Structures are given as structure tokens and as C-alpha cells.
Structure 1
Amino acid sequence: MSILEIKNLSKLFGKHAALEDVSFKLEEGEILGFIGPNGAGKSTTIKIILGMLKATKGSVTLFGKDAWNKAVEVHKRIAYVPGDVNLWPNLTGGEVIDLFLSMRGVKVETVKKEELMKEFEFDPTKKCRSYSKGNRQKVALIAAFAADADLYILDEPTSGLDPLQERVFQEHIKKVKEKGASVLLSSHILSEVEQLCDTVAIIRKGKIVESGNLDDLRHLTRTQVKLQVKESADYLQEKNYIHEFIQEKDTVFFQLDSNHTEDLIQEIQGLGVLKFESTPPKLEDLFMRHYSRSSEGDV
């Protein structure tokens, strides 16, 4: 049974389709990166998962239960961190953390909560009205990690954090995975997704354009190659698996379809290779493949 399963999910706001036939799964102990630019449909999807919005069409199940009809029941097993945390201005950060945890009805280890505050360099005694955006995020993150959950739903959770705090966040994501929890991580920080996630779902204008195991999807990206040779390599640009070919004296630069590495090696054997450098494909390449032609977003 999947922890989270979304099937043919659509959401209309009037005549505008914010989501169209979105489908993906999150398995137990897995971290799924849900990526796309602002306005692509990430937050709308998450609100439907959490029962904050009702889908126009399709289904969302959490732990095998309907996310809309059984929202109260499934929320007991979920920790959620939004991208913009709104807090009670007259309460202290510590009081809000305790309130969030009491609303989840979970048992909290005081030592663990205090350790989290220390790691995130968070002062729980100040009133929330004085907190920066980064400190407001810390309130939600500490409340999320202070007690165990089966599913963590994180919507741009590191927004406003400095690089050191982002590293603390990443370490705690790895810890909850080791305990067998699942994580849905919505982010536009591709390096963060690439480092943490097992699978990805890329959303563009309300539609899933790629999804699956991160390693399996790398074949859709291209390897960057720098090749220095004694003989002319002009003919390589005629190969259908070589792209963006540029020549500078005895050195050529190009992009290689990653599943044709062996073909390239055979082709260059007689060229007198002086230097061969390749950069492995990155998630950013796959992402930009879908977004480079249009920066236009969606709701």
C-alpha cells in the first residue's frame, strides 16, 4: 500500500484549470521531490492532500484512506510545514511550538525539542511578532521534527533559512527516513531535491511532465563533454545523440545523450584523444528541459 496515492487529480477555479490529471505515488520510507516554479500547482496539490481544498476530479488517498473524507483521522499521522508560516503575534515561539504539538496529539520528548531549538539556533522566548521569516519557518520545522510522524509534508520548508540551517534541516530529513517515515518535499531548490530525494515529480502548468525514480530519470538528461583531440572532430556534430556542438581550436564542447556514451567512445578512438572530461547529468538539466522554453507559471 502506498503512503500517498494521487490519481487523475484535477482542480478548477471557475473555468481555469489549476491542476489537470495529476497522478503520482509516495511509498513507505521514500522521499519524493515535488518540483516546479512558483505557480505551477504545487501548493494547490498539497492543499488538496491536506483536505484544505476539495478536488474537482480524481482521488487522493493517505494511508489507504480518502484525504478529504478522513482528513481528521489521517492528520494524526502527518507533520506539515508550509512555505509561509503565520503565527500568533502575542505568543512566544516556544508556546506556539507546544501548541502545534498539542494539536497533533503526540507525545513529545522535551530533550529532543530542546536539542532542535539549539541546532536551529532558535530563541523560543521571543514574541512571534518579532520573528523574521526564517525564524517563523524554524517554529514549524521544530514542531514537525520534535515528535515522530509517518508522513512529513513540506512545502518550501527552507524558505528564509540560511545555508547552515538548511544543512540542519537536511540532516533531520535523513533521520526521519532512517526511521521509516515518508516525505513529500515541495521545493524549487533543485540541489536540495537531488541530494535528498529518491523520486521526483515535476509539475508544469498544472500537469505532471516527468515522474519516477531519480536515477532512472537521469537518462533523460544530457552529459556535458569537453574533448581535446589531435584530429578534426567536426563530424561528431552530425550524430543525432550529440547536441550544442562548439569547437575552439583543438577542443570541442557538446552535450551527449547519456545513453549513447559507448557510441561516443567508439567514435573518438581514432582521433588522438588528449583530454576527455565529462560532467554527469543533473536534476537541473531535466527541470530546465521542461521550463527553458517558457517562464510562464500557473496558479
Structure 2
Amino acid sequence: MTTTLTGEPAVSARGLAKHYSANPALHGIDLDIARGSVFGMIGPNGAGKTTTMRLLLDIIRPSGGELRVLGESPRAGGAALRRRIGYLPGELHLATRVRGRELLAHYAEISGPVRPGAIEALADRLGVDLGRPVRSLSKGNKQKIGLIQAFMHEPELLVLDEPTSGLDPLVQQEFHAMLHEARANGQTVFLSSHVLSEVQQTAHDIAILKEGRIVERSTVAALRENAVRHVRVTVAEPDAATARAVLERLPGVTGVAPAPNGAGTVALSARLDSHVDAFVKAVAALDLVDLTVEEPDLEEMVLAYYGADVSASADAGTAEPAEVAR
């Protein structure tokens, strides 16, 4: 399969809205996801990520706006369109009275052609025993079954809601490799997460969702350029006042705080935004004992959109029933 990034988007939404009774879940979002890309949607629980994904699959229907998926309306495209999509729901409910292999064979009859050996190859990569009854599997192994059914028919579009939930770190890395291979194969991936680091490792384009609205649309690279870095400048104690004055005059440097560091030195910690060049040139003139510049803290940048607490659901009362993978 070969798909370019040009032409009609894999997903296109204009003014997409969804209300549950009097409770708005999506407030008219505009969204384009290029074919052959990995797109990540970030937001806390209740922000509207799952609602957006269910609209793509016609599991629920919009209250307003326009939506096209792989060039078709989800409602008009029906089952034929859904066979071109691989879907992993955020709350995965599987039939438990069958073995994993039998369950996946059933899904293969619904989803369309699956290459011989594809299911077994995915099971080997993810490390799940398909001969065991589903009811005996752990949450992580059930999640692997969900991933296999989404990937096994090599769909044009993968819609993955919190895909690494319950997976151990090694399996998460294998999953990330699967995403990169899918993109190289021309497939489009739309994944959601409330964990920024997961999206950062796999996606190129991202949208930050807050209370049913897209508050930022960017690339991971652009976010990294503008994200806050934590820096630590260590100097000899007699030079501390001069170093502090230099840092406090610099553009983009905030929160300069000195602390004794032992052995007659002082460590000055601070926050640095995108003015990296000016910072490096200024500290190069100091008599440094040590210098630490941490990786850009994208998590901190995203949290700024939500305030101090993102643990509470933003859209109370908009919860929907959990669905079975299909």
C-alpha cells in the first residue's frame, strides 16, 4: 500500500459538534488529518477525545457540522467504510468464553481479508498466547488482543483510543515500532492519549483538546522549540551574584533561584523558553563549574492549557457506555 501526504485528508471535520442532552461534548471543532500521517490528540479524561473518535466510526452521530472519513460520510459509508478502518476503543470489552485465536478469527470475518500468518505474527511481536481463553488474560494481554484486531487487516486508517493502556514498557516500544511501520506502509494513524510522552514518541502533528475545543494545533517539533527547559548553572560561590544578575537580565529566563551546592559552589536553577541562543552565549562568558540543560518539558507546556489540575473530568455528565471492539 502506498499513500502520499497530499490530496484529500484521511479525516476532515468542519464545525463538528456533539451534545448529550444539554451537555456539550464537542464545540464545533475543525480538523484535518493528512493521509499517511500519525496524528495525536492530547487531552485529559472528558476533554472530548473519545467522542471525536466515535463520531468517525458512526458509533454516535454529530449534533452539527460536517465530517468525512477516507473521502466519505461515516453515516453513508456504513459497514464498507468501517472495514477500511482499524479501531481500538478506550474501554475494551471482549467476549470472554472463547480463546484469543477464535475471537480474532471472528473479527477477521467482519473486518475483511487478513493475510495468512498476520495474526500470529502480531501475537508473537506483542507476546500474547492466543491459545488461552480470553477470560484468563490480564488487562495488558486483553489490550494486545485489541491491538491485533485493529492492525491485522492493514486498514487505511487506524483509530486508537489510549492504545498503550495496561501495556508494559517493552510492549509499548513494540507498539511504537508498529505505528512507524504503519506510516511507512502509507496507513494513517489517529491516536488519542492523556499522556503526552506517548504521543510525542510517535506523532508528527498533534491537537490539544480542552473541554471539547481544540486549543492548540501544532507539530511536535514546533512544540519542542517553544517548550520550557529547566536549566542549572553552577559557579564558584564568589561568582554567584554576578551569574545571577546575568541570568535575570536574559530574555526568556524566569524563576532564577540560587542554592548552596557544596564545595564552595552555588547552583542557580531557572526556567528557559525558546531563547536558547542568547542563553548559551551569555553563560559562555561566565566561569562555569557545571551546566545542565534539560530536555524541553512538553508536559509542563501542555498542562499550562489546563491550569494546575487536569485530573478532574472536564465534561462531567457526557460519559457514554463502553463499547466492544469491532
For 1:241 and 1:43, locate their aligned partners in 2 and report how far apart those are by CA, in whole Å.
37
Which position in structure 2 is the counterpart of 1:84?
91
1:256 alignment partner, one of 272, 278, 291: 272
The question of 1:284 aligning with 2:299 is answered: yes
Equivalent of 1:119 in 106, 115, 125: 125
> What is residue 322 of structure 2 aligned with on the other side?
none
How far apart, CA to CA, are the structure 1 residues paired with 2:131 and 2:223?
46
Instruction: For 1:191 and 1:278, locate their aligned partners in 2 and report how far apart those are by CA, in whole Å.
Output: 19
Tell me which of 217, 227, 239 is aligned to 1:221. Answer: 227
Aligned-pair CA distance for 1:239:
4.5
Separation in 1, partners of 2:150, 2:134: 18
2:180 maps to 174
Alpha-carbon deviation of 1:269?
4.6
Tell me the equivalent position of 2:244: 234
What RMSD over aligned residues (CA atoms) do the two structures have, in Å? 1.9
For 2:174 and 2:41, the matched residues in 1 are separated by: 20
Q: How far apart, in 2, do the equivalents of 1:216 and 1:45 lie?
A: 24
- How many residues align structurally? 297
Identity %: 30
Q: How does 1:268-279 map to 2 (within 5 A)?
A: 268-279=283-294
CA displacement, residues 134-192 of structure 1 (integer Å, 9 cap, x when unaligned): 22212221122222111100001121222222222122111111101110111123222
Q: State the SS of the aligned residue for 1:225.
A: strand
One-letter identity of the residue aligned with 2:35: E
Please list the CA deviations of residues 210-249 of structure 1 after superposition, one character each: whole Å capped at 9, or x if unmatched.
1121101223311211112353233333545212221124
1:297 maps to which of 297, 305, 313:
313
Gaps of 5+ in 1: none
> In structure 2, how many angstroms separate the alpha carbons of the residues matched to 1:146 and 1:48?
23
Specify every segment of 5 or more residues in structure 2 that has no aligned partner in the other structure, as ranges: 1-7, 261-265, 316-326
Whether contact under 8 Å (2:14, 2:66) holds in the other structure is yes
The match for 1:245 among 247, 256, 264 is: 256
1:36 aligned residue: 43
* 1:298 positional shift: 2.2
Q: Which amino acid aligns with 1:255?
A: R
SS in 1 for 2:121: helix
Cα distance change, pair 169–251 in 1 and its aligned pair in 2 (3 A): same
Counterpart of 1:202 in structure 2: which amino acid? I
2:103 to 66, 74, 96: 96
Partner amino acid, structure 2, of 1:247: P
Is 1:64 equivalent to 2:79 in the alignment?
no
Q: Is the 8 A contact 1:19 1:207 kept in 2?
A: yes
Alignment-derived partner of residue 54 in structure 1 = 61
Specify whether residues 237 and 2 from structure 1 end up closer, same or farther in structure 2 by C-alpha distance, changes over 3 A only.
Answer: same
TM-score normalised according to structure 2 size: 0.84
Post-superposition CA distance 1:180-212 (Å, at most 9, x none) = 111011112322211111111111111111112
